[in-house]
Structure 1
Amino acid sequence: MTLPTRINTNVRSMKEIVGGGYGKAWNYRGRYLAIKGGRGSKKSKTMALRWMKMLKQYESANLLVIRQVFKDLRDSAFADLEWAAHQLDVHNEWHFKVSPLEIVNVITGQKILFRGLDKPMSVTSITVTKGQLCWCWMEEAYQIHSEDAFDKIDMSIRGRTDVFKQIVVTLNPWNDKHWIKRRFFDVEDEDILAMTTTYQCNEFLDEADLKLFRWMKENRPRRYRIEGEGHWGISEGVIFDNWRVEEFNHQDIAKIPDIKSAFGIDFGYTADPTAFISALVDMKAKRLYIFDEHSEQGMLTSEIADMVKRKGYAKEMIVADGQEKRLIEELRRSGISRIVAARKLPHSIIAGIQFLQDFEIIVHPTCHEVQVEFENYVWKKDKVSDKQINEPIDEYNHLIDALRYAVEYLHVDIKKRREGRKLLY
């Protein structure tokens, strides 16, 4: 095998490739680097560029990349690192392997290893054959709910090395109660650099991207504060506190006697996403399991249909946003034959919320977006008194609305049975 010659990465200037806003982080060599940022702040892309640049600079260094769920790595950090290698003109120095998922330098033998905290045995003993494992990148670190899991990874970056040791955490700051805030952002420590970045330091955004942020600032100020300005979400007045994240096998849950399935869609397009959710409901135990989700902007009817079919739910009863009857009919003609419209009854939002509040809600770790919504869906405040009112904000509610539609038949039909009226489902 002929090894590639070293590539000169100075053909394009680093400033041209990376842009601005991250100079302090780029040059930091302390133990912990924590970066929270809103959407579009280029934090993941910038860190991917930084890792590829540093691996070339320190040839005895190896990198471990961590996410809560292993399967999410290939389309996120792995893809970003491959993109970064192309940007730096070093792609032919690396072998990008998907089975097992790893990136290997064909000249130096350095490795980038990938692990998920949902596979704990893969994280307990990590070794490299050449050089030292001295760096770790925890991408989407907000999804890591256990500080103990972080501590175990922290302890794996140990031993003598001729390269500085560092752990980088990058995250969206959805909730101010997260352990990462207390651990890295609420302290002053010479071994910690904690910083916040926003879309405003991303000179690679186009006018369409910026227009969405301007719309968000005007129409969704609370969301803009978190996703635009990178501030921590505030959980005061949160509507749902009856949920937790936990591993489970939905196929086993489906075998429970009298378990009910529930599938829902809330339609969106430009500013708001189309949201699809899958759940199982144990009415006797008052337990609800959320096991699948999809949230995406700009979806056409055909793309929604393809998504539902790809997930294997085309023959399930799906309850969708009742205001979009044309979309529902188009989906029905596209093969989603059992899709029905949710009923727009008086006070249906509050009734749906109250019904869901009676359950113990268990969210599968792979369902990230609904976790974000549960942590940021709060009651409105009166503008004069600043006191909470019995009305939810119209933000962070797309998957929750889909869930309300999905379970509607479980409580609306019960009421109709009591009244002796004919059911519509």
Structure 2
Amino acid sequence: MHRLPDIRTYRGKVYRYLMYRYMQYRERDAVLKIFNEGSSRSGKTYDAFDFLYDICTLALSPLNIFVYRNTLQACKEITLADFRKKLTLRGVYDPDAMRSENQHPDYYINNSVIHFRGLDRMDSREGYDCDIIYINEMLDDISKQQYKNITMRCTTMVIGDWNPKYTEHWAFELEGQPHTYFTHTTYKDNPFCPPGVIREIESYEPTPANIAAGTADEWRWKVYGLGIRAAKEGLVYPNIDWIDEFPSDLERVVFGLDFGFTNDPTALVRLGLRGLDLYMKEEFYAPCSDPALLYDAIEGVVGRMPIFADSADKYAKNPESMVDGLLLRGLSVVKAKKYAGSVTDGIHMVKSFRLHIVRSRNFQTEANSYVWDSVNGITINQPIDKFNHLWDAARYAVMEYLYWVCNRRK
């Protein structure tokens, strides 16, 4: 029988790479960035915690480290729990070193501190001065803007990890940038992966035996077994023709506008018709809670052309309605009607056209991530409420105008 290494002293593949690059960059005037992409149970998260603990114990001066996840609840219930479990397995966890565990947990190691935070409890413009940042499950509802804001004050090192459950995501753009490195691991790199978990992961592989048993799942096998990027099943809009330019000879051209105020982006989409062919182009994609600033950003794009906008247009910190603010400044804006079932109805209206979309990173990310929701593994006739900002903007314009223009001609 194969003998397992001592978990108290074992350091995995990702740990060794993190430590190698960290030591290499100690004297460099650059922020080191390492992103760990891999399958389920590959050991990448435990390796990151081993690394953070060890550099805190070795540090000659105090380190200020932030560990982030998309929500504070997930950070406490999953990421912090993994941290505690890993240090306990090593025999070094000290419960007295944990402070504010039920609110904003901080763990002290000598004079260094590791803060555990959720990005849902932070304003998108905020970031903290720190030496090192670790973003756990970086593909889970963490925007590019949030990433930029939390890393801009980091002085030494940024670490991220994820299961590669998409084929398009803004995080993949980081590969190849200066001082940036990607690693890849699978469950086979983790000698402590339990046999039952291995059997579960390997049951996804589309072998004849697994297909006959009904456990085969190609997407899960690629993502959680092989640790390679794969597009989700159940996409709301699976059939898209990606194009390079928005045509200049379309019959009708209008705009759709979906509001986002802090973490979510405001999305502006240009749409045009040619028969049953619907063309779209992303024109604006960033959080914006001030109608004056939004006007300045989009007026040169939309001019006096009609805009069909989100009716949920008020932000608590700015009582002025976004639509009213844009109307007062001279834009032609109509609020889209919302009712029970309007999202699903609008999706069917959009899908009644052949879709041609100008290629952009944000649109491709949403297209590869916007899926039908499920309950207990059963798909329902309702999409998830994520990765839908550009799609919602387009849906407003189609529901309020383009669908009816097209159908009047039939």
Q: TM-score of the superposition, structure 2-length normalised?
A: 0.53
Please tell me whether residue 18 in structure 1 is matched to residue 11 in structure 2: yes
> Which digits, 9 at most, give the CA deviation of each residue in 1:35-82, with x for residues without a partner?
111111121122112111111111411210111212111112211222
Indicate which of 174, 181, 194 corresponds to 2:182: 194
Aligned position for 1:101? 104
What does residue 89 of structure 2 align with? 87
Tell me, in whole angstroms, the C-alpha distance in 2 between the residues paired with 1:35 and 1:230.
Answer: 10
**Unaligned residue ranges in structure 1 (runs of 5+):** 1-11, 128-132, 159-164, 249-255, 257-281, 289-354, 361-370, 379-395, 407-425
> 8 Å contact 1:21–1:201 — kept in the other structure?
no
Contact preservation (8 Å) 1:173, 1:226: yes
Take 2:261 and 2:163, find their aligned partners in 1: how far apart are those partners?
Answer: 22
Aligned to 1:287: 343
Residues in 2 aligned to 1:43 and 1:245: alpha-carbon distance in whole angstroms = 36
2:66 maps to what in 1?
64
Aligned residue runs from structure 1 range 211-230, under 5 A:
211-217=199-205, 218=207, 219-230=216-227
Per the alignment, in what secondary structure is the counterpart of residue 167 of structure 2? coil
Aligned twin of 1:154: 151
SS of equivalent residue, structure 1 residue 83: helix
Partner-residue secondary structure (3-state), 1:209 = helix
1:344-393 deviations in whole A, cap 9, x for unaligned? xxxxxxxxxxx694389xxxxxxxxxx99983869xxxxxxxxxxxxxxx
In structure 2, the residue corresponding to 1:64 is in which secondary structure?
strand
How far is 1:126 from its partner? 2.9
Residue correspondence of structure 1 range 237-248 to structure 2 within 5 A: 238-240=235-237
The residue correspondences of 1:378-417 to structure 2 (distance < 5 A) are 401-404=378-381
Q: Does 1:375 align with 2:339?
A: no
Q: Does the aligned pair in 2 maintain the 1:116–1:123 contact within 8 Å?
A: no
Aligned CA RMSD, in angstroms, stands at 4.0
- Taking a change above 3 Å as real, the CA distance of residues 53 and 22 of structure 1, as seen in their structure-2 partners, is closer
Query: What is aligned with 2:288?
Result: none
Runs of 5+ unmatched residues, structure 2:
26-31, 208-215, 240-257, 263-311, 313-337, 351-364, 384-410
Q: Give the 5 Å matches for 1:18-417.
A: 18-20=11-13, 22-29=15-22, 30=25, 31-58=32-59, 59-92=61-94, 95-97=97-99, 98-105=101-108, 107-108=110-111, 110-121=112-123, 124=126, 126=128, 133-158=130-155, 165-184=156-175, 187=176, 189-217=177-205, 218=207, 219-234=216-231, 238-240=235-237, 283=339, 286-287=342-343, 357-358=347-348, 375=369, 401-404=378-381
Q: Does the 8 Å CA contact 1:117/1:123 hold for their aligned counterparts?
A: no
The size of the alignment, in residue pairs, is 255
Distance 1:51 1:125 in 2: 20
1:400 CA displacement: 7.0
User: For 2:228 and 2:339, how far apart are their aligned partners in 1?
Assistant: 38
* Contact 2:43 2:190 survives alignment (8 Å): yes
- Distance in 1 separating the partners of 2:153 and 2:341: 41
Distance 2:78 2:154 in 1: 23
Cα offsets for 1:172-209 (capped at 9, x unmatched): 1111210111122xx2x451110111111111122222
Change over 3 Å in CA distance of 1:374–1:94 after alignment to 2: farther
With the length of structure 1 as denominator, give the TM-score of the two structures.
0.51
Identity %: 15
Given residue 51 of structure 1, which amino acid in structure 2 is its aligned partner?
L
What is the rounded CA distance, in whole Å, between the counterparts of 1:80 and 1:49 in structure 2?
11
Q: Which amino acid aligns with 1:24?
A: Y
SS at match of 1:196: strand
SS in 2 for 1:175: coil
2:39 alignment partner AA: G
Q: Distance in 2 between matches of 1:398 and 1:117?
A: 26
Q: In structure 2, do the counterparts of structure 1 residues 105 and 46 end up closer, same or farther at CA, with 3 Å as the change threshold?
A: same
Give the 3 Å change call, closer, same or farther, for CA 205–377 of structure 1 in structure 2: same
- Paired with 2:237 and 2:125, the residues of 1 have a C-alpha distance of 32
User: 1:21 deviation in Å?
Assistant: 6.0
**C-alpha contact (below 8 Å) 1:103/1:111 kept by paired residues:** yes
Q: Kindly provide the amino acid, as one letter, of the partner of residue 146 in structure 2.
A: A
| C-alpha distance after superposition, 1:153-189 (max 9, x if no partner) | 111214xxxxxx10001111111210111122xx2x4
Shift of 1:236: 9.6
Please state whether the residue corresponding to 1:101 is helix, strand or coil: coil
Give the residue type in structure 1 aligned to 2:151. D
SS at match of 2:105: strand
Residues 286 and 90 (structure 1), Cα distance of their counterparts in 2 relative to 1, 3 Å cut: same
Distance in 1 separating the partners of 2:379 and 2:340: 22
Q: Map Cα deviations across residues 272-293 of structure 1 (whole Å, 9 max, x no partner).
A: xxxxxxxxxx6457136xxxxx
| Amino acid in the other structure paired with 1:25 | L
CA–CA separation in structure 2 for the residues paired with 1:25 and 1:101:
26
Aligned pair in 2 of structure 1 residues 287, 25: CA closer, same or farther (>3 Å)? Answer: same
Counterpart CA distance in 2 for 1:91 and 1:82 is 7
